[in-house]
Amino acid sequence: METVIKKITADKNENARIFSLGGEIIKRGGLVVFPTETVYGLGANALDSGAAAKIYAAKGRPSDNPLIIHLSRVEDVEKYAYTNDTFNRLAAAFMPGPLTVVLEKRSCIPDTVTGGLDTVAVRIPGDESARALIEAAGVPIAAPSANISGRPSPTCAAHVIEDMTGRADMIVDGGDCDIGVESTIVKISPDGSMILLRPGGVTLEMLTAIGDVTLDKAITGKLSGGERPEAPGMKYRHYAPNTRVVMLDGQVSEIHDYLKQNSQREKAGVLVFSDEVPLFSDLDVTVISLGEHTAEAEAHSLFAKLREVDSYGCDVFYVKVPERTGIGLAVYNRMLKAAGHEIIKL
Ligand code: TXA
Ligand code: MG
């Protein structure tokens, strides 16, 4: 398959032509990779079962893992799902934005999109290019993250060009994604309370200001063999480089000492904030900087750094257990998956 790559620039007329071309491709059943404020998505017409099926093939994704449908306006949600009071309050506070809400679906959404569930996940991206593409398509766009299944979600054009060239009809290059981790997913219970299925840019603290929230066990815990998480995707191995990743629970000085002790028996790497890089200069380890010392910067760069890890030929990469507040909970959740839940307490 030939993949057309188009870059969003300051030229509004050219951008309009890009969205119109992308919209046409979606309408006729093709696949378009597009930027959002969280990660890049691999989009298809959510009302076309055959088009949605192509997404699973392109990603190599199990077909029981449902897709999020992306809309450009809150008013359209009611056409595809049954809304309720909690949804309305969430929408008023956080939409458009990095929030996905799981609602009871209407019959126009095919089973291919929902993996046979009677619910559908709905999101209105904050990114203007994403909304312009949805407008141009005139249909909801079903889109998972645009990575090959199992790899870290793509947060810049180079990642989607690497993963999706030859697999999608078009790639819209919108530069770097702002947030860098996928949207927060909330399911609304029949009593109106919220269940957090996946942490993201709309934080637990922000959701708690709207109402009661419980955390799905799959966010911070490891599910045992037969257990099924509420969000089917949370059960799959994710984000994991081929190199072993281990989380270290301790202070940076303790991490330094731990690496020093082990330096004879393993070729190690470490992911740290830029201000911590000099602390490791006396050791023979590969040091990757996560950027500025904030949870937001860590979220922004984590997936790109995880993609980089395998290029250093290390036996193991260490990363510090992050604070679990704010977007830190999302960073912690993605790291756990990359590390296969391997944490060493220092
Ligand atoms: O930020 C994002 O959400 C990105 C961008 C492209 O919008 N999309 C994304 O999609 O991360 P994906 O497919 O990689 O992750 C969607 C997650 C999966 O874990 C899936 O199991 C869950 O959402 N999900 C989808 N529909 C669901 C439903 N009806 N009930 C429960 N979980 C659902
Ligand atoms: Mg994904």
- pLDDT of res. 152: 92
Report the alpha-carbon distance of residue 180 to residue 22 in Å, rounded. Answer: 23
Say if ligand 1 is within 6 A of residue 36 CB.
yes
Q: By alpha-carbon position, which residue is closest to atom 20 of ligand 1? A: 233
Buried b (16+ CB within 10 A) or exposed e, 96-118: bbbbbbbbebeeebbebbbbebe
Whether residue 123 has its Cβ less than 6 Å from ligand 1: yes
Does the model's pTM come out above 0.75? yes
Q: What is the pLDDT of residue 142?
A: 98
Q: What is the CA radius of gyration of the chain?
A: 20
**What residue owns the CA closest to ligand 1's atom 18?**
233
Asked if 309 contacts 243 with a C-beta cutoff of 8 angstroms, the reply is: yes
Residue 251, pLDDT above cutoff 90: yes
For the CA of 70, the closest atom of ligand 1 is 7
Q: How many A from CA of 24 to the centre of ligand 2?
A: 25
Question: What is the tens place of the pLDDT at every residue in 51-66?
Answer: 999 999 999 988 889 9
Ligand 1, atom 3, residue with closest C-alpha: 183
Q: Reply yes or no on whether the pLDDT at 80 is more than 70.
A: yes
Q: What is the pLDDT of residue 231?
A: 74
Check residue 7 and give its pLDDT. 98
pLDDT for residue 239 is more than 90: no
Least confident of 8-22, 23-37, 215-229, 289-303: 215-229
pLDDT value at position 75? 98
Ligand 1 atom 10, closest CA: 144
pLDDT score of 233 more than 80: no
- Over residues 84-102, the mean pLDDT reads 98
325 Cα to the center of ligand 2, angstroms: 22
Distance between Cα 39 and ligand 2 center (Å): 9
Compute the average pLDDT of residues 101-116. 96
Q: Is the pLDDT of residue 346 over 90?
A: yes
